[in-house]
């Protein structure tokens, strides 16, 4: 059974965040380990657009989190926590956030994208042109790179999709090149 079919079944063909029934898509909650049902939610295009475009949130739309934060499904809880964290300066989201409890692994997953951190503490990853990089972005190598500990050379022009950010160092990202996960220095990539 496909992930989309299983998510439709799990959600009752509704957005697992706001309950909308139109323009539904599978939304993978990054960073993923295996992908699939346990790391995805069924969401409407309105929610996805606002999740992916910080600063363009309709505060009233997200009142739905009052219900979705109590979902029995971990990925729904994680996205709810991230949005409440992003909106917490508006009062009521902070109150809801204080009611949530996660085990250590779930909290680490929720915090993996940097939501919930104060802006001055956030590590910002930038490509060679100064463009901000996010989890899941695609980049292109701008120079041939020798991969340490291997005889492999990642060639200039190689596309690296679905990158992961190192949350301790702004100069490092991870991505797969020729099926191998490697660490790449941000000054050698350009966002596509």
pLDDT tens, residue by residue, 38-67: 999 999 999 999 998 888 899 999 999 999
Domains in the chain (CATH in brackets) are: 3-118 (no CATH), 123-191 (2.30.30.40)
pLDDT, one tens digit per residue, over 11-40 is 999 999 999 999 999 999 988 888 889 999
Quick check: 119 pLDDT over 60? no
pLDDT, one tens digit per residue, over 163-173 is 888 877 889 99
Quote the Cα angle for 95-63-83, to 5°: 70
Q: Which of 189, 191, 152, 144 is nearest to 171 (CA)?
A: 189
**What does the pLDDT read at residue 181?**
87
Q: Could you say which DSSP state residue 155 is in?
A: P
**What does the pLDDT read at residue 131?**
86
**What does the pLDDT read at residue 117?**
66
| 11 cis-preceded (ω within 30 degrees of 0) | no
> Residue range 151-158: average pLDDT?
90
């Amino acid at each position: 059974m496909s992930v989309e079919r299983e998510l439709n079944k799990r959600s009752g063909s509704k957005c697992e965040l706001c309950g909308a029934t139109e323009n539904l898509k599978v939304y993978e909650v990054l960073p993923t380990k295996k992908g699939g049902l346990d790391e995805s939610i069924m969401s409407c295009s309105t929610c996805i657009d606002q999740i992916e475009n910080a600063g363009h949130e309709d505060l009233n739309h997200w009142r739905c989190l009052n219900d979705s934060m109590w979902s029995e499904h971990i990925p729904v809880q994680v996205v709810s926590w991230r949005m409440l964290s992003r909106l917490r300066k508006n009062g009521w989201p902070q109150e809801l956030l204080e009611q949530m409890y996660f085990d250590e692994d779930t909290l680490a997953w929720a915090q993996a994208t940097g939501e919930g951190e104060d802006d001055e503490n956030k590590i910002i990853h930038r490509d060679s042109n100064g463009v901000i990089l996010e989890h899941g972005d695609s980049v292109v190598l701008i120079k041939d790179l020798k991969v340490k500990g291997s005889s492999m050379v990642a060639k200039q022009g190689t596309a690296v999709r679905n990158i992961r950010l190192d949350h301790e160092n702004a100069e490092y990202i991870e991505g797969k090149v020729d099926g191998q996960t490697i660490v790449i220095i941000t000054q050698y990539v350009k966002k596509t």
